[in-house]
Chains A and B, each alone.
Chain A
Amino acid sequence: MNIIFVLIPLGLVLVAFGLWAFFWAVGSGQFDDLDSPGWTVLTDDKSPPDGEHDEPEGQIK
């Protein structure tokens, strides 16, 4: 059981590292906008080729 005297502090160091990484990510603006990046991937640059997709009524081709 004595192993936990080593393993728990080790775990806490890992948690601290994760927290540091998260703080860095927040600080560099990666959490400022959680919605639009997902959409930009879907719609990036090329519009779907004509007639290939079963487009819903009223859509632009």
Chain B
Amino acid sequence: MSGAGTACFHCGEPIPAGFAVTARIGDRDQPVCCYGCKAVAEFITGSGLGDYYRYRDANSTRADESPRPDRWTAYDKPELVERLTRAEPGGARSMTVLLEGLRCAACSWLADKALRLQSGVLDVSVNPATARARLVWNPDKVRLGDLLRVLESVGLRPHPISGEPAVQLALLERRTALKRLAVAGLGMMQVMMFSVPLYIGESSGMDSDIRQYLRLISMLVCLPVVLYAGWPFYAGAWQALRARGLNMDVPVSLGIVLAFVASVFNALRGEGDIYFDSVTMFIFFLSVGRYVEMIARHRAGSVADALARLAPVTARRIRGNSIEDVQVIDLSVGDTLLVRSGEVLAADGLVLAGDGRVDESMLTGESAAIAKGPGSRVNAGTHNLGAPLEVRVEAVAGDTVLSGIVALLERAHAERPRIARSADRAAAWFLSRILIGAALVCVAWMFVDPSRALPATLAVLVATCPCALSLATPAALAAATSALARRGVLVAHTDAFEALAASREVLWDKTGTLTQGLVKIEEIQPLAKLPANRCLELAAALERWSEHPIARAFLAVSDETETATDVEVHGGEGLEGLVAGRRYRLGDERFVLQLERHPRDSERLAAPEKSGWIYLGDSEGPIAAFRLTDQLRAEARDCVSALEGLGITSRIVSGDQVEAVARIASRCGVEIFESRMTPLAKLEYLKDLQSDGRIVAAVGDGINDAPLLRGADVAVAMGRGSALAQTSADFILVRDSLDEVPATVVLARRTKRVIRQNLAWAFGYNLLVLPLAALGFVPPWLAAIGMSLSSVAVVLNSTRLSRKSPTVDGGRWTAVEQAKAAG
């Protein structure tokens, strides 16, 4: 279990060497990996919510080392609350928030209980499937800001969602899909109930009026299934045809409509075969597949959620001499904003004053912050790491660069160009063969006996379409999807199985994918007389004033014994400030040496390699050097070699420096790597590979990986990565571990094999039986039994995919096992 001594009690991440801090949990001390996790774990158990650790089945998100309670003060203002929230009866207010880090039912229980402990909270409903919570509270008794603070202090970061309609839309979509599924399922069962007597009646003799009665009843039951449950397929097909394309919905709709129309025709005239059972079964199985896919897609999050996480809700507007907090939607072009250090820009604009450094990595992939002075342009969603900026707003909301990217993604998503390729090629091929075959039959019968041309043609169309397609593919995909869901891999697009099975190349992002994406201090080299611990304290005292990712590395391993005053952030260079009356600098080598009273030869500094080291110094000279690295994921190497065993070559494409990429590449055994790649360069590299006819998979986590993921034949996103990357992905690794990547590939290949077997069986059966039946050698009762057995064989073959493998949980103590042990 997580308290084994090497992993953090709260988040399960490895504890940095030499970091011996524990959290007091009940009457025991549990090891934690950082002060953030310590605070969260102690808060949770201190509030009497320790049961959370018993029941959770996924580790918590690593806590932010520097939670900023003032982040939520804007939400204490009544006028803002009024606009962001909705009025409820009795003067209460309600609001929906997206909870980052909500992973399982236990997390949602934790959020629920933590909120209900607050007085003034009237109702809470947390949905783990969508990671959303709806709060209803009495604004006279508790402030919204306090509720959001409580959520953050239990480790679930709230993102107030302004896009309430999107939430409602997703809910509505899910409810409608469930209703359609119920109609299809019940309809299928009823029709089957009437079909079996008809099959048997064929051989044992049945009154013709009862037979006709059953056929008409079948038609009646089939009608709502075809009209209501099948509706999404016709809508999808119509959309594709209007865009002059073919997608999977086209043959599906054609199959449904043809089979249904022919059956109605035969049922009304009282002779000929009816296929109501095939039609309902077809719609039901396809609907199950679509439903599972939709749940995964909702879970992955919509683009609106991604925006909610990126862009701030409030901004500071300068009006004359006063500064006011306003909602972002109230900003207009020409307003002047004040963007303090550590804040996210709310709009695109021109810098009027200030000397800041802006982290644009989410837009450009460049990891180093870029200096911005008067006259430079800044973009919404980017992060100011330097001094405060005064910015004149030039574009807001839908006109910003960020919205442009999101809109692009949304469009690409709706059109699904990449996914359409493989699945639709197969569908179009299948469809064209059937149409050609039917046309040939029709022409042949025209010569032999024109009166039998239409029934024979219909028989070919109807018998081949539903039988071959209805079960073969959807049943296998549904089984594979549920098998992966149990392993913590969400399948957002089932069509991607085929591409994954065929891929021979995988492109890895480095930061956050192969590595943990967290900078950690790997080595401390004292350069003066001070011990390493003291150096760390001094550095941490300075870093507490910084918002840079590096600061987290220091704060995670210090316990706040020192405080710094007068701290100044020098954009791009480092920090300077007073600790215990002494002036220190922390930052790059040149910057630190400038503070020295008697400048010496900088050669004296023992720096093995310049990149990755930062220095601490005072007026007497340098005191210590720290080496910072991003930790490689423990499973990365095994994952790469396992993929190699499957014949898949790994390549790293990273925006980082050459040395950093090379070090990671050699440590996880990847031979081919590219460094300093912008998102566009990554995409071009990918296109190059694809133009050689290779099928390429991509694994990434960041916003800058989103274009790469979208362009790849199959995309995998990390569960803790950015929401935007997840919306572009086909597979999402919920447990945020690479372990499941090779397993997913293996399963995708097995799925493809099973689909092939199913199709071969269905094709072979039809090929054998159709001509025989057409020539009158197969009596109807035999054909009926044969068809049923054929369907059962296909379903049984598919369920082989969902067989549970013994290594699913990696030995973790799951809630279920706990329940068994307790019971």
Contacts and interface: CB of A to CB of B under 8 A. Distances in A.
Interface of A: 1, 4-5, 8, 11-12, 15, 18-19, 22-23, 26-27, 31-36, 38-40, 42-43, 47, 53-61
Interface string B31-52: 0000000000000010010110
A32 B127 contact: yes
B198 interface: no
B1 A36 contact: no
27 contacts: A1-B207, A1-B210, A4-B210, A5-B213, A8-B194, A12-B217, A12-B221, A23-B182, A26-B175, A27-B175, A32-B127, A32-B174, A32-B175, A33-B127, A36-B105, A36-B108, A36-B109, A36-B127, A36-B128, A38-B105, A39-B106, A40-B109, A43-B55, A47-B51, A58-B2, A58-B4, A60-B50
A42 B815 CA distance: 11
B631 to A, nearest CB: 24
Interface string B792-823: 00000000000000000000010000110110
Interface stretch (B22-30, B89-97, B457-465): B22-30
Given A1-B207, A12-B221, A60 B186 contact: no
**What 10 A-B pairs are tightest by C-beta distance, nearest first?**
A58-B3, A60-B50, A60-B26, A35-B105, A39-B105, A36-B105, A61-B26, A33-B127, A36-B108, A43-B51
A22 to B, nearest CB: 5
Given A12-B221, A26-B182, A56-B1, 20 more contacts: A4-B210, A5-B213, A11-B190, A19-B182, A23-B179, A31-B178, A33-B125, A33-B128, A36-B112, A39-B55, A40-B109, A43-B51, A56-B813, A56-B821, A57-B1, A57-B3, A59-B26, A59-B53, A59-B54, A61-B26
A35 B128 contact: yes
- Tell me whether chain B's interface is mostly helix, strand or loop, or mixed: helix
A12 B45 CA distance: 54
Interface string B493-508: 0000000000000000
Contact of A58 (B9, B55, B178, B186): B9
Contact of B171 (A15, A23, A32, A36): A32
A1 B208 CA distance: 12
Contacts of B51: 43, 47, 60
Contacts of B221: 12
Given A4-B210, A5-B213, A40 B112 contact: yes
Nearest to A27: B175
Contacts of A60: 25-26, 28, 45, 50-51, 53-54
A51 B109 CA distance: 23
Nearest to B129: A33
B313 interface: no
A15 B186 contact: yes
Interface string B172-208: 0011001100110010001000100000000000010
Contacts of A53: 822
Contacts of B28: 58, 60
Contacts of A55: 54
Nearest to B213: A5
Interface in B1-23: 1-4, 9
B126 interface: yes
A45 B54 CA distance: 14
Nearest to B206: A1
B102 to A, nearest CB: 10
A35 B186 contact: no
B130 to A, nearest CB: 9
A12 B222 CA distance: 12
A41 to B, nearest CB: 11
Contact of B179 (A4, A26, A38, A58): A26
A47 B54 CA distance: 11
Size bin of chain B's contact surface: 35 or more
B813 A26 contact: no
A40 to B, nearest CB: 6
A31 B109 CA distance: 17
A47 B47 CA distance: 12
Contacts of B53: 59-60
Contacts of A18: 186
Contacts of B822: 53-54
A47 B50 contact: yes
Q: Which of A8, A32, A36, A40 has the most C-beta atoms of chain B within 10 angstroms of its own C-beta? A: A36
A21 B217 CA distance: 22
Contacts of B127: 32-33, 36
Contacts of A26: 175, 178-179, 182
A48 to B, nearest CB: 8
Nearest to B106: A39
A35 B126 CA distance: 10
Contacts of A32: 127, 129, 171, 174-175
B152 to A, nearest CB: 20
A4 B104 CA distance: 49
A37 to B, nearest CB: 9
Contacts of A43: 51, 55, 109
A39 B25 CA distance: 22
A6 B175 CA distance: 34
Contacts of A35: 104-105, 108, 128-129
Q: Which of A5, A42, A47 has the most C-beta atoms of chain B within 10 angstroms of its own C-beta? A: A42
A55 B53 CA distance: 12
Contacts of B109: 36, 39-40, 43
A55 B220 CA distance: 58
Q: Which of B179, B194, B818 has the most C-beta atoms of chain A within 10 angstroms of its own C-beta? A: B179
A61 B27 contact: yes
Given A42-B55, A59-B54, A54 B186 contact: no
A56 B818 contact: yes
Q: Which of A12, A19, A34, A43 has the most C-beta atoms of chain B within 10 angstroms of its own C-beta? A: A43
A60 to B, nearest CB: 3
Nearest to B821: A56
Interface in B45-88: 45, 48, 50-51, 53-55
Contacts of A36: 105, 108-109, 112, 126-128
